Amino acid sequence: MQTIRYGGDYNPEQWPEATWREDVRLMREAGVDLVSLGVFNWGLIEPARGEYDWTDLDRIVALLHEHGIGINLGTPTSSPPAWLRKAHPEIRLVDFEGRTLAGGSRHGVCPSSPVYREACAAIVEQLAVRYGAHPGVELWHVHNEYGWANVECYCEVSALAFQAWLADKYEDVDRLNEAWGTAFWGLVYRSFDQVEAPSAAPPGVNPALRLDWKRFSNDQHIANYRLQRDVIAKHSKAPATTNFMIPNCEGMDYWRWAGEVDVVSNNHYLIAEREDHQIELSMSADLTRAVAGGPWMIMEHSTSAVNWQPRNIAKTPGELRRNSLAHVARGADGLMFFQWRASRAGAEKFHSAMVPHGGTDTELWRDVVALGGDLKALSAVVGTEVGADVAVLWDWEAWWALELEWRPSVDLRFRERVEAYYASLWKQHVTVDFAHPEADLSAYRLVVAPSSYALSDAASKNLRGYVEHGGHLVVSYFSGIVNEHDTVHAGPHPGALRETLGLWIEEFHPLREGEGLAIEADPGAGVESAASGRPCLETGARGRIWSEHVRLDGARAVARFASGPDAGRPALTRHDLGRGTAWYAATALDEATGLDELLATALDAAGVERPAGIPGGVEFVRRGPMSFLINHSDQDVTVPGLRGTDVLTGVAHQRSVPVPAGEVVILTD
Ligand code: GAL
């Protein structure tokens, strides 16, 4: 029977051999059955070019295997050895300002460097030949966090690689000029070798250049991954993964990465000082599941504090368990931590671990052991799906495009809006998927587009078809404005959504910092959903950040601005198109000032069922045969209307389920 895999990054090279034996004993005590090994050991296993020292790694691999602990074997290429930098200074990373970055850390290499790539292929080949058929090696952990600190490199080699990438993409430089709109400021190119890498420059750099640079940079990392994966595949049948950083690495377009890996794995760390960090965790997990298209694994999270935030807040009692089980609820089939044993030396010694500096007579160790036990009871969820009737649109390219320079307002932030909409749905106990705007959306009753500034023609058609065929769509302001090259769609805004939304925009009216607007139901507005029995945004709604002059062309106003530059004009509209409905919010609504109400109305209109009576602060997710209830509040609660058996305690509940403060209850049908 399959179980949820449990473990973490294991760095035995930092410890004497006596500790390794203690480690495997403790791993077994905690139920650890998979460890990531050798993620950063290049400088140890290849002390000089072409010279290899396998003494320790051979022994550790044998020891783990002997104790039944599976190995997720790392390729150590995110921390190139000092000898390689010394022999080939040209591999060093050059940042946006043109500074060449020094060594003494990891990741400081140019992703496009042929010298670096060749050295990677060589060490990976050695590892794959030596361990590829070892029965203990169950998974390959290729590299570590592609794009962590070297998403983009601005060296000469990168610039040349960019020109080659452009030539490959556009074939003819006139096609590039057309796509990039280089007639503007006469920034036309006569040959590909005239295009420079967009490092620090005077303001107003062509946004299309910046967007293709970001695509190029992402592709360079994918190429590096493929190189290693293909070397490994020659010698090993074990699947390969690389750890993503969803959603906190803006530079990697993980929709493009998804098809490259055998298993999607993700690293997620709480942004500890955020009060709503458990919601951000859920969002990360839901987005990772969407990228994976099914179950996935968390490759790294922390048992308690990290060491790299301004204030590294420790987890509160029970939080480790709540966080871990939230990942499982949202599709994780593997639960790994960074790292097994807290380091004594180096940059990460103040990072929590499964075995803390304080040893095993600690709350933290007891929590780690208890979690290992809990996971064994959850085998029935392995491989199962998480059902969702609602999708939130997410597109890394739209994120990149929105946050380039010279937008109508600096307050237009991709994650600000996505997180606002996501949090409102989370609090209404609605489990969502994420989806790319060009993806098949027909399985969803409701699709929400909180920040879709850039939409391709294909996405525009897709969203229109979705609504016409009976879908319900909620769109927030400044969406559908440009195409994938940051060129405004022809005609009035929002060109990609004009027909779908049944309106056009005469002028944008961004607000001053801190300015708020009153919104009132349209005097003629009817009841928008039977459940509420009244018009939407009837009372107390307010807008922030944005206002605009909306002109109706098929849609009707549900609510209107009552103050500000667009007083009296539509603020919330509804367009019934074909068999579906498209809603549009022309300003930034927040939970208590209209967003909850708008989404509740749209959910009702779309017929999305929500569990009734779940108290606030309780996260509710259905996965496979199990219902997860995670109480993030400090109040004991009772959830009415649920029945089932608690998987962890065996207690049967007939009508209602008590969930003590900070606890997790998992029911099976
Ligand atoms: C990750 C990284 C790990 C470790 C961890 C600390 O970004 O992959 O190696 O540094 O952060 O939180």
**pLDDT value of position 527:** 79
Strands 570-577 and 556-561: antiparallel
Cβ-Cβ contacts under 8 Å for 66 (sequence gap 6 or more): none
Instruction: Give the separation between CA 124 and CA 224, rounded to whole angstroms.
Output: 12
Cα 321 to averaged position of ligand 1 atoms, centre (Å):
20
The answer, yes or no, to whether residue 118 has pLDDT greater than 80, is yes
Point out the ligand 1 atom lying closest to the alpha carbon of residue 307: 12
* Strand bridging mode 580-585 / 548-552: unpaired
The sign of the dihedral angle between the CA atoms of 613, 617, 618, 623 is positive
Task: Quick: pLDDT tens for 326-351.
Answer: 999 999 999 999 999 999 999 999 99
Sheet containing strand 70-74, edge to edge, reads 240-241, 137-141, 70-74, 34-37, 5-10, 332-337, 296-300, 265-267, 243-244
**Of 568, 596, 245, 253, the residue nearest 394 (C-alpha):** 253
Tokens of 657: 């389920």
Give the residue numbers marked as catalytic: 145, 300
Amino acid making up residue 199: S
Domain ranges of the chain: 390-606, 618-668
Q: What is the pLDDT of residue 213?
A: 98
CB 598, CB 536: distance < 8 Å: yes
Crossing angle for the helix pair 277-292 and 319-329, to the nearest 10 degrees: 30
Task: Specify the ligand 1 atom closest to the Cα of 144.
Answer: 8
Ligand 1 centroid–CA 156 distance in Å is 29
DSSP for 573-615, please give it: EEEEETTEEEEEESSB--GGGTHHHHHHHHHHHHT----SSPP
Ligand 1 test: best mutation among 348, 349, 350, 352, most atoms within 8 Å of CB?
348
In the chain, pLDDT over 70 holds for what percent of residues?
100
Question: Is-contact 231 253, C-beta < 8 A?
Answer: no
300 lines ligand 1 (CB under 6 A): yes
Q: Which residues contact 470 (CB under 8 A, 6 or more apart)?
A: 578, 579, 580
pLDDT of the residue at 539: 75
Q: Closest residue (by CA) to atom 10 of ligand 1? A: 348
Q: Is 385 exposed, middle or buried (0-12, 13-18, 19+ CB in 10 A)?
A: middle
Residue 157's nearest CA partner among 93, 102, 243, 239 is 93
CA of 337 to the centre of ligand 1 (A): 10
Cα–ligand 1 centroid distance for 302 (angstroms): 9
Asked if residues 611 and 644 have their Cβ atoms less than 8 Å apart, the reply is no
- Tokens for 103, please give them: 């060594």
Residue 644 and residue 394: Cα distance in Å, rounded? 35
- Cβ-proximal residues to 89 (8 Å cutoff; 6+ apart), any chain: none
Q: Is the CB of 280 under 6 A from ligand 1?
A: no
- H/E stretch holding 559 reads strand 556-561
pLDDT at residue 524, rounded to an integer: 84
Q: Is 36 in the pocket of ligand 1 (CB under 6 A)?
A: no
Please answer whether residues 378 and 647 qualify as being in contact, where contact means their C-beta atoms are separated by less than 8 angstroms: yes
CB contact at 8 A, 664 and 328? no
Calculate how far, in angstroms, residue 617's C-alpha sits from the geometric centre of ligand 1.
29
Q: Which atom of ligand 1 is nearest to 302's Cα?
A: 12
Predicted TM-score of the model (pTM): 0.98
CA–CA gap between residue 239 and residue 183 (Å, rounded):
48
* pLDDT tens-digit map of 133-159: 999 999 999 999 999 999 999 999 999
What is the architecture, at CATH level 2, of domain 390-606?
A: 3-Layer(aba) Sandwich (3.40)
Q: How far, in Å, is the centroid of ligand 1 from the Cα of 202?
A: 35
Across the range 263-273, mean pLDDT stands at 96
- The confidence score (pLDDT) of residue 536 equals 86
> Parallel, antiparallel, or unpaired for β 296-300 and 332-337?
parallel
- Given a contact cutoff of 8 angstroms between Cβ atoms, the answer to whether 32 and 69 are in contact is yes
Phi, psi of 530 (to 5 degrees): -60, -35
The reply to whether ligand 1 has any atom less than 6 angstroms from the CB of 303 is: no
The CA distance from 372 to 363, in Å, is 14
User: What is the rounded CA–CA span in Å between residue 620 and residue 617?
Assistant: 10
Q: Please answer whether residues 232 and 126 qualify as being in contact, where contact means their C-beta atoms are separated by less than 8 angstroms.
A: no
Alpha helices per DSSP H over 377-443: 396-402, 414-427
CATH architecture of 618-668: Sandwich (2.60)
| 1 pLDDT more than 70 | no
User: Would you state the pLDDT for residue 88?
Assistant: 98
SS (H, E, C) 300-348: ECCCCCCCCCCCCCCCCCCHHHHHHHHHHHCCEEEEEECCCECCCCCCC
What is the pLDDT confidence band of residue 533, given thresholds at 50, 70 and 90?
A: confident
Query: In angstroms, what CA-CA distances link 105 with 95, 108, 164, 348, 579?
Result: 15, 7, 30, 12, 57
Amino acid at 117: R
Substitution candidate for ligand 1 out of 107, 143, 338, 340 with most atoms within 8 A of CB: 338
Residue type, 276: D
Q: Would the CB of 453 count as within 6 Å of ligand 1?
A: no
Sign for the CA dihedral angle at 409, 413, 94, 115 comes to: negative
* Segment 55-68 mean pLDDT: 98
Give yes or no for residue 646 CB within 6 A of ligand 1: no
Q: What is the mean pLDDT of residues 347-376?
A: 98
| Protein residue whose Cα sits closest to atom 3 of ligand 1 | 338
Q: Which residues pair with 637 in a beta bridge?
A: 659
306 lines ligand 1 (CB under 6 A): yes
Phi first, then psi, for residue 584 (nearest 5°) are: -140, 130
pLDDT per position as a tens digit, 556-581: 999 999 999 999 999 999 999 999 99
Provide Rg for the chain, Cα atoms: 26
DSSP labels, 433-502: EEE-TTS--TT-SEEEES---B--HHHHHHHHHHHHTT-EEEEESS-S-B-TTSPBPSSSB-TTTHHHHT
Q: Report the distance separating Cα 286 and Cα 246, nearest Å.
A: 10
**What is the C-alpha separation between 571 and 569, in angstroms, rounded?**
6
Tell me which residue has its CA closest to atom 12 in ligand 1.
Answer: 306
3-state secondary structure at position 207: helix
Mean pLDDT, residues 519-535 = 82
Q: In the predicted model, what is the mean pLDDT of residues 7-35? A: 98
pLDDT tens figures, 418-431: 999 999 999 999 99
Are 99 and 166 within 8 A, CB to CB? no
536 CB near ligand 1 (under 6 Å) = no
Whether the Cβ atoms of residue 72 and residue 37 lie closer than 8 Å to each other: yes
Is 336 touching ligand 1 by the criterion CB < 6 Å? no
Annotate 153-188 with b (16+ C-beta within 10 A) or e (fewer): bbbebbbebbbebbbeebeebeebbebbbbeeeeee
The mean pLDDT of the chain is 97
pLDDT-derived band at 469 (thresholds 50, 70, 90) equals very high
325 pLDDT more than 70: yes
Query: 656-659 and 432-435: which strand pairing?
Result: unpaired
pLDDT at residue 55 in the model:
97
> How far is the C-alpha of 663 from the C-alpha of 511, rounded, in Å?
43
The H or E element that residue 548 is part of is: strand 548-552
Give SS3 for 363. helix
Strands (DSSP E) contained in 186-327 are 240-241, 243-244, 265-267, 296-300
How far away, in angstroms, is 248 Cα from ligand 1 center? 13
pLDDT at 525: 81
